[in-house]
Each structure stands twice: as C-alpha cells, then as structure tokens.
Amino acid sequence: MRQLLCQVCGGPADRTEAGVLWLLQDHRQDWVGWPEAMAVTEPPICRACVPLSLKLCPALRKGAVTVRAQGYPLVGFHGQLHTGADLFPRAVGKAITTFESPTARWILATGLVRELRSCLVTALEAR
C-alpha cells in the first residue's frame, strides 16, 4: 500500500494521467459521488491482475468497478482494536483509525489506509 504496488502481483499499480487504478466492490448506491473521500484498505491494482482478482475474490463477485484516483494520501491504518480496561490489553474487534486519533495506540496495525480523491469510476479495466 505504501509504495502503491499491485495487491495481486506486487508489481507497480497501473497509473495514467487519470490516476492510479483501484478495483473495488461497487458501492455507487451508497452516496452521490462515491467513492470520493472513501477510505480504502486494499492496495491499488495493475490492469493485468484485474481478471484474476475478479475471478478469485468472493467480495467482488457481487459487483465490482475500477476507479482511477488522482489523490490517494495515506490517512491512517487498520487492524485489531484492543481495550485497556483489563490488566492486559484485550482484542475487541477490527478498526480503522487516523494516525492522529487517540484510538491509534490501541490498534495492532495490519495495513495502511488511503483516502481516494478526485475519483473517476471507469468500466472494468483489464488487459
């Protein structure tokens, strides 16, 4: 995620003047302008890996789109949230947080989170 490498093959993610390519579940019904300002936990993808990802990822079978984002700052991380109410920290569930949040110190991070900006939803792009 930090280096914008493809989530499938680890090579460079596809990048054009329109932005870096992401393959996402289709949630265009969630809000007008989706996925603008959405936090993503999945790294971008290269065009060659789109068909394989569509074939193997169960979540994408419900509907998927490719998105080009021109802005994609790192905004936080995700992982296992813990509570400090007991003598030892205890896991209470998955969470996403910003780097600045007081909650951040209670999360055992498993990945970075980027925010997608200046997005363009495209027809499924594949090579």
With a CB cutoff of 8 Å and minimum separation 6, the contacts of 73 are: 114, 115, 117
**Token match 């991380």: residue?**
77
Q: Does 20 bind Zn ion (CB under 5 A)?
A: no
CB of 9 to Zn ion, least distance (A): 3
Q: Is the dihedral of CA 11, 12, 14, 19 positive or negative?
A: positive
Residue 6 binding Zn ion, by CB under 5 A: yes
Q: CB 17: neighbour CB atoms within 10 A?
A: 6
Q: CB of residue 22 vs Zn ion: minimum separation in angstroms?
A: 12
Nearer residue to Zn ion within complex by CB, 46 or 119: 46
Q: Are 113 and 101 in contact (CB under 8 A)?
A: no
We find the least distance from the C-beta atom of residue 75 to Zn ion, in angstroms, to be: 24
**In the window 32-91, what residues touch Zn ion (CB under 5 A)?**
46, 49
The answer to whether the peptide bond before residue 89 is cis (omega within 30 degrees of 0) is no
By CB under 5 A, name the one of 1, 8, 65, 95 that touches Zn ion.
Answer: 8
> Closest approach of Cβ 105 to Zn ion, in Å?
34
Q: Please report, as ranges, the residues that interact with Zn ion according to CB under 5 A.
A: 6, 8-9, 46, 49
